[in-house]
Amino acid sequence: MRKTNLRCIGKFGCMRCPSSSKHIDLKRIMVKLERFSEEKALVHEFGKYILEKQDSALADNADAVFNIAISGGSMNQALYEGLVNDKDIFPHIKWPQWRIFFCDERLVPFEDPQSNYGQFKKIVLDPLVHQGDQLNLGPTVYTINESLIGGGETANKKIAEEYASLLPASFDLILLGCGDDGHTCSLFPGVEYNYLVEEMARKVLWCYNSPKPPKDRITFTLAVVADAKNVAFLVKGPSKKAIMHDVLIVKNSELPSVLVNEIVGAKVTWFLDDTAGALIPQNC
Ligand SMILES: O=C1O[C@H](COP(=O)(O)O)[C@@H](O)[C@H](O)[C@H]1O
């Protein structure tokens, strides 16, 4: 069963943004909440949502491109189920017009199971090639410069700068996850990670002290997320129920996922399964 609601995350004031030139007035902002009791319905509706955003970006123009940024972790399987393995959705995806970027990446070689690109390739891109017993042309996928991995501080900063230089002016869609601690992209909560959430000038940063392995990553900053035309979170599983309560009910502004709601507001949709949303009242 599916249930759609607009959740008011209304706060008044301005986001704390000491290094920012952008001050965002926070009026009463609504985010959209989509809840599902069945996994199949969740991934199907998630796929449909992505398809809608593709169609409005491409507008039947064969020369247009769909700029999308994806997250790692549980996102890959949902993308496979919702886009590649869904017989209603798959034929409508115009893969060659997709330009795919990563919201964050772990600074490990692509064959390392921790690599977000490596997992996306294995779970989504490789099966896509022969899906439906035919040869499918794939999307253009923008990865970090793997040859710089292991080069230390200077190389890690260069990976972030190079990746930032590849990004489009704005994304048609950014797909986010939310960790048990409220992190999104590789923007982590806590004072020692303030350098990540407070950055609004640069688009991509080296995250050098990730509390979740591996320690070295790159991440989009909130500046990139703020400029996106649409943002969707996908969150599943009972391990997420406490953090979903903190994000959507308590609205703890120390959490990077809450900052996304505050900055992006009405363009944000949350897709939750019932276990992740177990502490969110049904009438929300
Ligand atoms: O480390 C990461 O975690 C988040 C959340 O992952 P999930 O498996 O709990 O959905 C993910 O969005 C991010 O891309 C990844 O690097």
Q: Which candidate, 190, 224, 197, places its Cα nearest to that of 16?
A: 197
Chain mean pLDDT for the chain = 91
Q: Is residue 51 a contact partner of residue 97, using CB atoms and an 8 Å limit?
A: no
Sequence-separated contacts (24+) of 214-217 with Cβ below 8 Å: 214/106, 214/107, 214/108, 214/114, 216/106, 216/107, 216/156, 217/104, 217/105, 217/106, 217/107, 217/186
Q: Is residue 177 a contact partner of residue 234, using CB atoms and an 8 Å limit?
A: yes
Share of the chain above pLDDT 70, in %: 90
Q: Is the dihedral of CA 253, 257, 263, 266 positive or negative?
A: negative
Instruction: Indicate which residue's Cα is closest to atom 12 of ligand 1.
Output: 177
Ligand 1 midpoint to CA 61 (Å)? 33
**Residue 67 confidence class, pLDDT cut points 50, 70, 90:** very high
Whole-number pLDDT of residue 29: 60
Ligand 1 midpoint to CA 169 (Å)? 24
Task: State yes or no: pLDDT of 79 exceeds 70.
Answer: yes
Task: State yes or no: pLDDT of 8 exceeds 90.
Answer: no
Task: State yes or no: pLDDT of 3 exceeds 70.
Answer: no
**Residue 28 confidence class, pLDDT cut points 50, 70, 90:** low
For ligand 1, residues with CB inside 6 Å are: 71-75, 103-104, 116, 177, 179, 186, 212
Q: Is residue 229 a contact partner of residue 172, using CB atoms and an 8 Å limit?
A: yes
What is the position in ligand 1's atom list of the atom closest to the CA of 106? 16
Task: State yes or no: pLDDT of 33 exceeds 50.
Answer: yes
**Beta-carbon neighbour count of residue 40 at 10 Å?**
11
ipTM reported for the complex, 2 dp: 0.99
**In this predicted model, what pLDDT tens digit does every residue of 245-262 receive, in sequence order?**
999 999 999 999 999 999
What is the position in ligand 1's atom list of the atom closest to the CA of 239? 9
Task: State yes or no: pLDDT of 110 exceeds 90.
Answer: yes
For residues 76 and 124, give the distance between their C-alpha atoms in angstroms, rounded to a whole number: 7
Task: State yes or no: pLDDT of 15 exceeds 80.
Answer: no
What is the position in ligand 1's atom list of the atom closest to the CA of 177? 12
Ligand 1 midpoint to CA 150 (Å)? 22
Mutate to test the pocket of ligand 1, among 42, 75, 210, 271 (most ligand atoms within 8 A of CB): 75
**Residue 283 confidence class, pLDDT cut points 50, 70, 90:** confident
Ligand 1 midpoint to CA 5 (Å)? 25
42's CB contacts (< 8 A; 6+ apart) are: 36, 78, 236, 271, 273
Q: Is residue 178 a contact partner of residue 247, using CB atoms and an 8 Å limit?
A: yes
Ligand 1 midpoint to CA 15 (Å)? 24
Task: State yes or no: pLDDT of 16 exceeds 60.
Answer: no
Task: State yes or no: pLDDT of 270 exceeds 50.
Answer: yes
Q: Is residue 90 a contact partner of residue 79, using CB atoms and an 8 Å limit?
A: no
Mean pLDDT of 259-270: 97
Task: Give CA separation, 23 vs 86, 187, 203, 242, 266, in Å.
Answer: 41, 19, 17, 30, 17
Q: Any idea which architecture 2-12+43-236+244-270 has in CATH? A: 3-Layer(aba) Sandwich (3.40)
